């Protein structure tokens, strides 16, 4: 699967028994991942493969919207941390929304383990996250002309 396989809507969707994940490319340079439910790894490495394909186009701002996530397994947390560490040079920044205290603590662990303390923000306020996303979309639109 390559970034060009996103179709006319610019998104990919993975649905499983316990969770769903949607990856969208609203504009070149900005990627949004929306996670719902409890991520126990049912999608495997497929989302990471798709994200990796997008990074080949150039650095991106990655937004992870976990407002509807209830939790994440330890294995999935480790996988995210390892993926972020491996790709941090291709990520201009990462902004995550974590509404539950458990997801927030997990995100803080992932940020630290990935060595992204200066590159990754974790928000608990949806309005702050949405504002950051809107600003990133505006910056990307300005770059594209």
Residue 101 is predicted with a pLDDT of 93
Which pLDDT value is given to residue 80?
94
Retrieve residue 34's tokens: 């929306």
Q: Does domain 3-137 have CATH number 3.30.750.24?
A: yes
In the 3-class helix/strand/coil scheme, how is 115-141 assigned residue by residue? CCCCCEEEECCHHHHHHHHHHHHHHHH
| Cα–Cα distance measured from residue 33 to residue 31, given in angstroms and rounded to the nearest whole number | 7
Q: What is the dihedral of CA 70, 20, 17, 82, to 10 degrees?
A: -80
How high is the pLDDT of residue 16?
Answer: 86
By CB atoms closer than 10 A (0-12, 13-18, 19+), residue 141 is: middle
Residue 98, helix vs strand vs coil: strand
d(CA 21, CA 46): 11
The residues spanned by each domain of the chain are 3-137
Task: List the chain pLDDT tens, one digit each, 145 residues.
Answer: 334 455 555 789 888 899 999 999 999 999 999 999 988 888 888 899 999 988 988 899 999 999 999 988 999 999 999 999 999 999 999 999 999 999 999 999 999 999 999 999 999 999 999 999 999 999 999 998 7
Q: Which pTM was predicted?
A: 0.91
Beta-bridge partners for 126: none
Can you tell me which residue has the tokens 């949806």?
126
């Amino acid at each position: 699967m390559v970034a060009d396989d996103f179709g006319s809507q610019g998104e990919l969707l993975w649905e499983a028994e316990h969770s769903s994940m949607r990856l969208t490319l609203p504009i070149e340079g900005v990627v949004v991942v929306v996670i719902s439910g409890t991520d126990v790894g049912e999608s495997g490495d497929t989302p990471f493969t798709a994200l990796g394909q997008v990074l080949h186009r150039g650095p991106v701002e990655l937004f992870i919207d976990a407002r509807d996530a209830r939790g994440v397994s330890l294995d999935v947390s480790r996988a995210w941390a390892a993926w972020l560490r491996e790709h941090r040079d291709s990520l201009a920044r990462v902004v995550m929304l974590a509404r539950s205290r458990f997801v927030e603590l997990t995100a803080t662990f992932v940020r630290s383990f990935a060595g992204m303390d200066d590159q990754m923000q974790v928000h608990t306020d949806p309005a702050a996250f949405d504002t950051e996303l809107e600003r990133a979309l505006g910056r990307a639109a300005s770059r594209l002309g």
